[in-house]
Each structure stands twice: as C-alpha cells, then as structure tokens.
Amino acid sequence: MNSLQKYSYLIKREAKRLGFESCGIAKAGFLEEEANNLEQWLKNGYHGNMQYMQNYFDKRLDPRLLVDGAKSVISLSFNYYPEELQNKNSYQLAKYAYGEDYHYVLKSKLKELIFFIQNEIGEVNGRVFVDSAPVLERAWAQKSGLGWRGKHSLLIQKNKGSFFFLAELILDLELEYDVPFKTNHCGKCTRCIDACPTQAILPNNTVDGSKCISYFTIELKDELPATMKGKFEDWMFGCDICQDVCPWNRFSKPHSEEKFNPHQDLLEMNNKDWQEITEAVFKKVFKKSAVKRTKFAGLKRNINFLRN
C-alpha cells in the first residue's frame, strides 16, 4: 500500500467510525459539466428568492477557490431515515428535520475527522462543509463514486436510497481518488415527477427550486402565494414526496444517531395540536431543531396556509 492509499484508507475508516455511511474521494478541480447548467438554472430563476444561490458563482464551481491549494474533495453521506414516523393524521415535517439541526451535528463530526487527519498524517489544511456553503454537493458526491442523481435531482445509492445528508472535507492533501459513479438507475421510472404536487421536477433531472414545497415552507420569508393554495398536501415544513415514492427508498434503514431522534410529542401531535401550537410547545418540541430557522411565526404561517 503506498502512502496515498494508506491515508485514504485511514480517512475512510475513521469516517465510518464517526457514523458516516459512505465516503468517497475526488480530485479537486473545475466542474466543467456543471458550469453551463448552473448558469442556466440561475438565469431561469429556479432559485426564486434564494439570493445566496447567486453568490460565489466561481467558487461554487471550483473548490480550489474555497481552500488554498485544494487537492481533494472528500464526500460523505449520513443517514437520517427515522425509525418512527409522524402520526398519519398530522401535518408533515420533512424527515430530515425530526431531530437536532444536522448542520451542527455533522459539523462537529467533520471537525473530529479533520483533527484525526492532522494527527495521523501531519500538516494538512482544509475546511469542512455541510449544506450551506457554495459547494455543489451532489455533483461532488457523484464524482466521488457515492451514487447517481435521480430525476428528482437528489443523490441515490442502490443499497440505501436517498434519505441521507451530504457533507464534504476539502483538503490540500493528495489522496487516492475513487471512480466517479457513471450509471443511472432511474430507468423509465417517473414516479417522482408524477407525484410532485407543484410540478417542480422538470424533465431533465432538474428541479425548479422556486416551485418546490420545501422552498415555500422553509426558504420563502414572504407570504405564501395564493396560486399554491391546496397544492402542499399536508406538508408544513419541507417535503418528502419525491423521495417517499422512489422505489430505491424501500432500502432505507433507520439511522442510529441519537441526536436525530424526535421529541416524543412531535410523533404524537395531530392536526388539531399543530393548529393550537403555542410558542412554548414550539420551543420544547423543536429545541435544537432546524425548524427553529422558520421561527414560530413561520411554522404558524405554513399551518394556516394548509388550514384555510
């Protein structure tokens, strides 16, 4: 085993120990194939009011502009599929938001991973990323061999489905690179496209973010548009429809991260409980949750939209 292979092996072993289910490595460089598509996506206004998607265009396409001397992008996945689902007679919350905010939970694991690398390998510089940075996370995951992009645009793995988060480490360390995932296993299936209640999934593996229920219920700070009335089914925060109908998700297994377990009340609450929710209950049920980002008023806005 040469040193590149040895370092890659050690990193993957430690990532697994920290709870990451998959870990793949790609050579850092310019994302040529994605450049035109990203430009087109923005030109078409698919980002809606998510202004942050317009920022750092060049950095988003090249991790070497995010980390000096970057050589490797390490992509990681972390399962969030819950053991128990919400009451059926209840407004729905996206499954990723049941427990503690994943940005904090995963960031601390990524920091542990980078400390491990610095201790085992030596002076390595790098940064950790989860979701909010200008990194095209699914493109890197595919390049690192983790899986393919479904028609709903999310990353899917054959034996695991798609209910996992993605995260990255960008390092100035050369490593052994995995083979990009080249095949697509959606075939003729169009279940996600057919099931999306707002027709946000376009025919070319692209999602018009400005039409997605997740965008409306989480990202949009203004009033919800009347044209969307009656289209959100029961979703009050995020939306899992395109993943729930995906046949690959029959392989989802419950996660084992205690911090992602929901407050018991969250599972038991029904529509009436949600309609009558007080700020005190909101604070209790969503103590460290990503739902706090919409604030109490945001969740109330969404619930009222589903009600009236």
Q: Which does 14 bind (CB under 5 to 8 A by kind): ligand B12, ligand SF4, none?
A: none
C-beta separation of 302 from 236 below 8 A: yes
- DSSP category for residue 95: G
- CB neighbourhood size of 25 (10 A): 24
Residue given tokens 């950095």 in the structure block: 59
Q: Which of 150, 157, 165, 217 binds ligand SF4 (CB under 6 A)?
A: 150
As given in the structure block, the two tokens for residue 34 are 């994605």
Stretch that binds ligand SF4, among 39-47, 114-122, 165-173, 239-247 (CB under 6 A): 239-247
| Residue 216: CB minimum distance to ligand SF4, A | 8
- Coil, strand or helix: which one is 179? coil
Compare residues 40 and 89 and give the one whose CB is closer to ligand B12.
40
Any contact of residue 189 with ligand SF4 (CB under 6 A)? yes
Give the whole-angstrom CA distance, residue 278 versus residue 297: 10
Report the candidate in 83, 80, 195 with the shortest Cα–Cα distance to residue 130: 80
Q: Which residues, in sequence order, are bridge partners of residue 156?
A: 148
Give the whole-angstrom CA distance, residue 123 versus residue 134: 25
Stretch that binds ligand SF4, among 46-54, 104-112, 206-214, 271-279 (CB under 6 A): 206-214
Compare residues 41 and 296 and give the one whose CB is closer to ligand B12.
41
Any contact of residue 141 with ligand SF4 (CB under 6 A)? no
| Residue 91: CB minimum distance to ligand SF4, A | 14
Q: Count of residues binding ligand SF4 (CB under 6 A)?
A: 23
Give the whole-angstrom CA distance, residue 301 versus residue 14: 43
Any contact of residue 138 with ligand SF4 (CB under 6 A)? no
| Residue 119: CB minimum distance to ligand B12, A | 26
Q: Which of 66, 73, 207, 290 binds ligand SF4 (CB under 6 A)?
A: 207
